[in-house]
Amino acid sequence: MTTERSGAPGAPAVEKVLAANDLCKCYGRTVAVDGVSFEVGRNEIVGLLGPNGAGKTTIINMVLGILEPTAGTIHIEGMDIARHRRRALARTNFTAVYAPLPGNLTVYQNLRFFGLLYGVDGLARKIDELLEHFEIARFRHSKCGVLSSGEQTRAGLAKALLNQPHLLLLDEPTASLDPASARDIRAKICAFAAQEAVGVLWTSHNMAEVEKVCDRVLFLSHGKILLEGNPKTLPGEYGKETLEDLFVAVAREPLTLENNGT
């Protein structure tokens, strides 16, 4: 069962923004993702957690249509992206620290380019709103390549909200921010998830952050979902004091945890 937030007027209570079923991704004999199934509901923030190499980024790339699953299906608002990729991805957006905006374009040029790509109505007004919202209006005509990592993160988040996505994919969205800026960004993302008909899939290695923002977490190990539950109560279910302790155990002792859960 998902824990869905209230606050999106008129949003269907039962419809899932994202549904992944039996996802697999193989590279020859190497299995990167092995039979993963999960859902993201409206007004829900789901944390996708696990050590490096667990399969998080591979899953995100399959949801984005960058990688084709070896097996399994992905539906965005009920649309199979294998058959309706353009329509499904028009309702999706993404940002990650490893995928910065083109550095030779200014912040405004980048937002205008992506806004045109998504067919955003009232684009100039929308850009102005997002520049103010993420406090980067003063960098409007600065090239993204000369911005600090934190400023680039804010520009990437502005791009991610341009098309009012119903599915927002965030891969380490606050990794390059100072604590004050990270708190501000978390608050903005949580407010967006609460007020719009949107679901968020959030990856992070910051377990304190995950506990604050996520309604539910999925722990990946070797391409499989090992654990799932409320980030505040899940550690205690496996005899751990904190979510960070549980993360370390997933990285070091996944078989022990799996056996404890059976």
Which residues lie below 8 Å from residue 241, measured CB to CB, with a gap of 6+?
235
Confidence of residue 8 (pLDDT cuts 50, 70, 90): very low
Tell me which H or E stretch contains 219: strand 216-221
- What are φ and ψ of residue 29, in 5° steps? -90, -5
Domains parsed from the chain with CATH numbers: 1-91+166-175+198-262 (3.40.50.300), 94-164 (no CATH)
Kindly report the CA angle at 120 between 40 and 189, in degrees rounded to 5?
40
121-179 tens-digit pLDDT:
999 999 999 999 999 999 999 999 999 988 999 999 999 999 999 999 999 888 878 89
What is the enclosing helix (H) or strand (E) of 220?
strand 216-221
Closest listed residue to residue 169, CA positions, set 180, 184, 157, 177: 157
Quote the DSSP letter at residue 143: B
Specify the length of the chain in residues: 262
φ and ψ of 110, to 5 deg? -65, -45
Q: Cβ of 140: how many Cβ atoms within 10 Å?
A: 14
pLDDT of res. 1: 33
